[in-house]
Amino acid sequence: MSVEEIGGARVPGATHRTSFDDETRARLSADAAQIKARYPQERSALLPLLHLVQSEDGYVSPRGIAFCAAELGLTTAEVSAVATFYTQYKRHPNGDYTVGVCTNTLCAVMGGDAIWEELSDHLGIGHDETTDDGAITLERVECNAACDYAPVVMVNWEFFDNQTPDSAREVVEALREGTPVAPTRGADHVCTFKEMSRVLAGFSDGRADEGVGAGPATLRGIELARQEGWTAPPFTDEEATRAAGDTRTPARGTPRTKPAAAPSAEPAAPVASAPATGGEQSSAERPPTGEQDVSPADQERKQSSDDAKES
């Protein structure tokens, strides 16, 4: 069943609108101009532009694809090829909250599979499906790089750590009721899918510094190192030079910059052009390698190999 948002309402069976109205297009074009200005080549702005149109329609709609193509001078096929590659771009209307349950190895064995089964049964939907009220889209997700808090559930890419089937069910019920829900780490409360898409397009909502960034499990290693007085070994001069991005290894006290060479009184010799095929220095005319071209060590290795074959 196709669903299209019209006037803020989700209407089953409605057809796709093919373009934005003039007011919306003008607003999106102004945002797109800011995004494109960040890149030396405009087509590099495609990923944030896809998030921008997703923040308008709640998914990457046909008119959103057409808008991106027109803004960047691309074909709709080129835009669609990118939009269908990344899972954060939705090709059908998404719920207000994307609830992602990590079922990768560690989260799965720590209870992620049980959480998934509980939420799927409770909501009556499967992977990449949305509840009838348009509130929740449920997904199985790959590793969220938060294994120290397994099992992890994400809501619009905010972390909910150390979840259980019961706690995860309570989260989705609060979201459906419209109750503000705070993630374990990060912002003070979870924003909607459209709001998060606008942030991913590069427009700050001013909430980046809210809440806890790194929790106790993440900081355990550095705290233990401080308690025990552990430190990393210092860089040698050579390692420090490489860490600075300079592959040269000058001796201690040697300046990094190489002095400019004095100008030569003699004119530079012309650069020889590459020999043509069949020319004097071409490999096609080069004489076969003879014993005079092989080092004594190579000759000895070859002789040993020949002797071994004969024996």
Average pLDDT for 241-269: 55
Radius of gyration from C-alpha coordinates of the chain: 31
Residue 131 predicted with pLDDT over 80: yes
Predicted local confidence at residue 278, as pLDDT: 46
Question: What's the pTM value of the predicted model, to 2 decimals?
Answer: 0.68
**Pick from 71-80, 111-120, 125-134, 284-293: least confident:** 284-293
CA distance 167 to 163: 6
Pick the CATH number of 97-191 from 3.40.30.10, 1.10.10.10, 3.10.129.10, 3.90.1660.10: 3.40.30.10
pLDDT at 160: 96
214 phi/psi in degrees, rounded to 5: -115, 125
Residues 152-175 have a mean pLDDT of 96
Q: Is the pLDDT of residue 202 over 80?
A: yes
Over range 117-138, report the average pLDDT.
Answer: 97
pLDDT for res 107:
95
Domain range annotation of the chain = 3-83, 97-191
Higher pLDDT, 9 or 17: 17
What separation in angstroms does the CA of 85 have from each of 43, 47, 81, 88, 91?
A: 16, 11, 6, 9, 11
